[in-house]
């Protein structure tokens, strides 16, 4: 295979990965809200807590490690129930905020990624395309953290780790040639 053909194959795979990650993160929102998946399994408990406007005391008061899920999806939904007086509006808002987090994470990863060829963004799309289908639609007690993690935080952590290793390699190399 010629070098030109290999570059085309690599570019095609890259576009496929990015497309799959972005498409799945959008489909995640549409499918979940259409089928009201926030009402299934443990998600039903969270939806109930939103509807009765007591999400913190109902379930989350003893799980301090999951405050990001509370702050990013449940608290705004509960506030909307208080403002609108309509529990269903709060439940839909909870589902929207919860399920849109991977897509928002991909956008934030793209904006923050300064790597050559947006490598970190491509990894985030790969992670989203491969892992979201495995945890999609059933927000059990453990899964909200998993879904928010798919929002690009692992990719950004990887970027920081990689920069750290590059810095160490440069320091060691400079020491060898000094």
The pLDDT tens digits of the residues spanning 89-124 come to 999 999 899 888 888 889 999 999 888 988 999 988
Sorted by where each begins, the domain ranges of the chain are 3-177
Query: Using one digit for the tens of pLDDT, what is the confidence trace for 40-85?
Result: 877 787 888 888 888 877 766 666 556 777 888 889 999 999 999 9
CA distance 120 to 14: 12
Write down the pTM of the prediction: 0.56
Q: Give 79-96 as a 3 state SS string.
A: HHHHHHCCHHHHHHHHHH
CA 75 to chain centre: 18
């Amino acid at each position: 295979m010629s070098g030109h053909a290999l570059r085309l194959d690599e570019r095609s795979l890259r576009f496929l990965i990015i497309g799959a990650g972005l498409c799945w993160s959008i489909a995640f929102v549409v499918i979940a809200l259409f089928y009201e998946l926030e009402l299934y399994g443990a998600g039903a408990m969270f939806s109930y807590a939103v509807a009765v406007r007591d999400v913190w005391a109902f379930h989350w008061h003893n799980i301090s490690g999951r405050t990001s899920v509370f702050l990013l999806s449940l608290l705004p939904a509960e506030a909307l129930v208080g403002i609108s007086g309509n529990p269903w509006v709060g439940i839909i808002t909870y589902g929207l905020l919860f399920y849109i987090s991977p897509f928002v994470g991909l956008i934030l990863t793209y904006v923050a990624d300064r790597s050559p060829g947006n490598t970190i963004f491509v990894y985030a799309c790969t992670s989203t395309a491969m892992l979201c289908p495995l945890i999609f639609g059933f927000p059990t007690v453990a899964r909200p953290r998993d879904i928010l993690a798919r929002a690009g935080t692992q990719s950004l952590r990887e970027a920081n780790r990689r920069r750290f290793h590059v810095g160490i390699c440069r320091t060691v190399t400079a020491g060898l040639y000094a």
